[in-house]
Amino acid sequence: MDDFQKYIKENKALFDVHKADKSKLWANIEAGLNPQESKTKTIKLWSNPIFKVAATIVIALGVFSLINIIIVGGVKQNSQNNLALQELNDINSHYKGLVAYHVKLVNKNSQLSSQEKKEFLSFMDELDLEYELLKVELQKNLDSERILEAIVINYKKRIELIENLLSHINNSKKMDNDDMYTL
Amino acid sequence: METNILYTHKSLVEKSKLGDRNSQYKLYELYVDAMYNVSMRMMHIKEDAEDVVQDSFIEAFNNLSSFRYESTFGSWLKRIVINKSINQLKKKKIPVVPIENQMYHIKEDTETMPLETDIKIIIKGIDLLPSGYRQIINLYLVEGYDHVEISEILGISASTSKSQYHRAKKKLIEIVKTL
């Protein structure tokens, strides 16, 4: 190294005469940098064949269990539905007979005016409509137990209605008889 | 101690490797002026120098994982700046390597730079050199690369670098004397 070289080296700082426009340059640099997230190392698990096998097994198990759940769930739902329908049939066969019997009694009763019969039958029709609605609800299987209960209540109301009517008729009969008697 | 120099700003470098923007900015702040001056000496045009500095920092930060403390961060970064500058000059078809056959005969290296010449005059003299000579003078004298390193940077042989440097120096002395 000659004197000239040494001289330059000693005064190297003097060669740095320029000042960079820091903020302007940084703005451009930052725009070109990788996004910060992607700087974090990603470990490619799937490049390992063991993980490929593991992933396949996991996926297969997942699909299998999903299918299983759907099928078993479907069967369960079906059996539940069947149970509810069976119960409905039992209720129907029991109460329908009772209602029909009572309606027949009312119809046979000669002491009722046609007006009273009409009124009574319109009540019965209303309850019939309610019953149809409940049946539809039951098929939707929202809460079969409560719906079945509602159906039973519906039937009981009809029978109660008929019984009230009949007892009313009987009372009036007695009254008539009493009148006759006093007369 | 010598090995410790390699690990200057190690924590900043390590955080920057993980993509920490603050650390990257701190490193940038520490080195931007030096790198800008390196680039200015090579490119001579403000806009070109700025482009080179920007590209160099982007490349440096995006490829920081390949920096393994084989040199200091500063010299690693400077090498990127130098290489980018050379590539830019080549693209612009500005001769990077001096013309081999000069019109004038080169005498023996007898002339020496008058000592205590004002550095500012020397800088001015370097600016006035033909671009090929200027690169060699800058790389050898100012940036402090040896002829082997210069041969790698410029893609010439080390002996060519040596002879070109001597020619460049002679030319520089001639110019400085006229100033």
Collect the ranges in chain A with pLDDT lower than 50: 38-39
Q: By CA distance, what is B17's nearest residue in A? A: A39
- B53 in Cβ contact with B81 (< 8 Å): yes
CATH fold of the domain at B119-178: Arc Repressor Mutant, subunit A (1.10.10)
Residues of chain A found within 8 Å of residue B21, distances taken between Cβ atoms: 30, 33, 36
How buried is B141 (Cβ within 10 angstroms: 0-12 exposed, 13-18 middle, 19+ buried)? buried
Q: Could you report the per-residue pLDDT of A129-173, keeping only the tens digit for each? A: 888 888 787 777 667 778 888 888 888 888 888 888 778 777 766
The pLDDT, as a whole number, for residue B53 is 95
Contact flag A19-B36 (C-beta cutoff 8 Å): yes
The pLDDT, as a whole number, for residue A59 is 93
The pLDDT, as a whole number, for residue B29 is 92
The distance between the two most distant Cα atoms of chain A, rounded to a whole number of Å, is 158
Q: Could you report the per-residue pLDDT of B19-76, keeping only the tens digit for each? A: 889 999 999 999 999 999 999 999 989 999 999 999 999 999 999 999 988 899 999 9
The pLDDT, as a whole number, for residue B63 is 92
Percent of chain B with pLDDT over 90: 49
User: What are the phi and psi torsion angles at A170 (to 5°)?
Assistant: -60, -45
At residue B80 the predicted structure's pLDDT band, cuts being 50, 70 and 90, is very high
Q: Where are the domains of chain A?
A: 81-182
CATH fold of the domain at B2-91: Rna Polymerase Sigma Factor; Chain: A (1.10.1740)
Q: How far apart are CA A80 and CA A142, in angstroms?
A: 11
At residue B103 the predicted structure's pLDDT band, cuts being 50, 70 and 90, is very low
Higher pLDDT, B106 or B29: B29
Residues of chain B found within 8 Å of residue A28, distances taken between Cβ atoms: 54
